[in-house]
Structure 1
């Protein structure tokens, strides 16, 4: 999409006055209050109670950019982010010869960030793939400039934070493609981007010759009513869009649809008669046929309001906003808040209609704005980047531009793309819940499939496996009836703003995330990962099993290296292959350090060394079993390969539900330990007392069948229990060992342990010896890397931050 010029018409000063929100009253906006107050029309207690689905796709914002500080979501307080090639967590992005952290910019004097017209960034196919960097996720700032790292807070976009607090927000929703606007929008309306027989994938915003089957045609075939709500601007343009702004004047800022109804580019939607079955795609207001329009004209919502009032809202509706309200940078975020608030006002104006309506608000793509969660992508058979139990057909673009399956040289994955916000607003999704299932734009189509009994054949098998159908975001049997009083200040657009260049990143730390814990949606995931060292083959045998009702995608990273992450997709169901096995290489010294990441905060780290000969190192292994009745984990400590007893040491990293334990397991035996979860959440480190190289970290969430479903309390350290910890064992220099844990917001590969004289404070040059503690969780035999030996005596050990002298933990008294 094109940018507007830097001169603007005046905005209305009170951007949300029709939403009923003022900074003086501090009340929840009227539109949200009304939507919360109307109970669900429960007839069957199932999905069939939904009579109307309204879909509003806005433009170009990433999840972290908008909601990274929203409490309870997997944002800047994520306790288990990936560690990129630099050895730092993903938030610290390399930039030129330095680095960039997420930052909240200082807006022009007297202008709120949410009202500031920050410019857009590169969001092309090539630019987004460059940031993705073959899955390494370490090239955001260099590909997009450090401006990619800027984000908003509740003070900047208060309406959206109030909306998330009142309804359900999805923190696992991704755009469909690592690319720009129009191809992502094609996924919303057609389930693909042209990667179907007879066509080729679109990777730019230039579309010609499109003609494959679209969702409105599927709805017609199923007898489902539908309509577009948009403004016609000055009528169809040469590209068959309604009033897409072309950068030549101020016209079509405040009316038209910015060309966001992309199906008008399809040949079957051109030259339609008034009674054509596809004519509802051309429906819309026309508040100014000359294309000029006026600021904040509520006639934009007149057709929607009339259909709601007359109870003639169709079963499926799509809404496309004018340029000024679609949130595409450099338009301000609060223009979108005004628009969404008015849509919600219209839908709730007839309680009977709203009682059976779902409103879905999402964003087509992330612009060039950073998000920290690497998306699922299919594995490439040609590049050997993983495995999939389901077909990856048509999920790649080949060197010729045709759709491919990843089996040929030059094949590039289409998506998923970065996370974008998704608000699920309905009488069945109240209460400020968080849903962490993986979704993309095709999930909206699959929700329509589930409700109306139709089938969209354009969606690939891989995408159907990885992405859900949104039904987990709703509670149809026992919908929440509460009406929390959440304050939200007004959002006021600056009347005379101009486009602002995003300033360079200046912060040097991960932003704080608002603490708090919300209700969580029940998810269909249940899967297991287990590793076992193959000493003769010098590999780590990785076994992945999916016992849940939804497919799952996992990624295996070699922490702190430039190794391309491996991608694994595992199907679900009676007719699917639900097991995968892979052999991961050990390094030349017999070492390995893999971290397997999955949805909803899943992490399993497998670290150790068997030496170059393959004959040294711990024989221990670890496996898990879920106690779904109580939300606990059974950890099996396996010493069946050992020739002598092994002492396993277990530590609760983040939840404080379990005391540290030492469990001796005889040779050839196993022992089971019950590890208590916090509403299902667990994060444990398992070490071998005799091998500091050995570590198994297991973390995630058991979907308990009883008790409250709650978000992760380690997010943002809400529970105050995920803190740096340092402990020691060994009474001689040769046996001195340190075990440590550090949360990601304090993790650095240059964290270190300094040994000082007993009673001394950590100061520059005052240490007796030191060594790096580079991992988030780990152990170190001090003599293996220390800069100097220690004479017998009494010392204090300090855990210190990032090559500096700020204590993370300590002092720990040691005697040599």
Structure 2
């Protein structure tokens, strides 16, 4: 909700089709609590140096942000009168999404359950959900998640358990949220800032960035981290290094090619492969890998190459930036999931 109106806007016809689970990882309601004449509790007007009472936006005293985790707009407001939500005719949804596990497609359906399983919501899942703008991959990704498949798996045996990803709620379940919409303004075209999961979304909410930082307190040392801010190296970074290409269980040829490109002779390849597999896994810290490299009986020039690769394993300082970092330094909680300057519990 994004303006201090006291009444709902007039209903309007839906201008475009947007699927039940829109490209949102969060449904964010911004409630601007304004001091309006004759409405709400009596509040003393702001002092204004003899220029009369505050006008327009200056009347706003508080901005309250209500964040509902992992909910699409349509999940909560898809049937709100006048909203650009689920296309309906005579109370029945006129759209459905492909269902690869069972065939046919799945229509949106009313679901009053308090707990909803939903579907995976990593960046890769988001890309598959949106499907180049077709917006038809949500059911398929939910069924992949049930089967334990990765978002990008192409030979997945889809899980056949019924998903609730096409379920929606309405005012019967959410009287408070719908009252906010009725008494203020419902923003039906607000999308999440990040196509990923909770933690990156929290960071975007506060500092408009999800990043990894190599130097504590230095934003210039930070780089974008859409999927894993402060939680180890991004897989896409590791997979293109010697470590990523020489892990056990992977095709041997990429490893051999990478070793050759790094100037590593074949007689050292087996030893290096063992070193990487046992001591330089992406889950290990940089010091652990560094110690293994230092102890390995390999030439110094090779140690340097391995050390350069190992640096990518170093867990950087948590990606606090801007306001979040300043509050953390002062041991001030900046949200419900942060206490006494600790990392988010999410």
Q: TM-score, normalised by structure 1?
A: 0.20
Larger % of strand: which?
A: 1
Q: TM-score, normalised by structure 2?
A: 0.44
Q: Could you say which structure has the larger radius of gyration?
A: 1
Larger % of helix: which?
A: 2
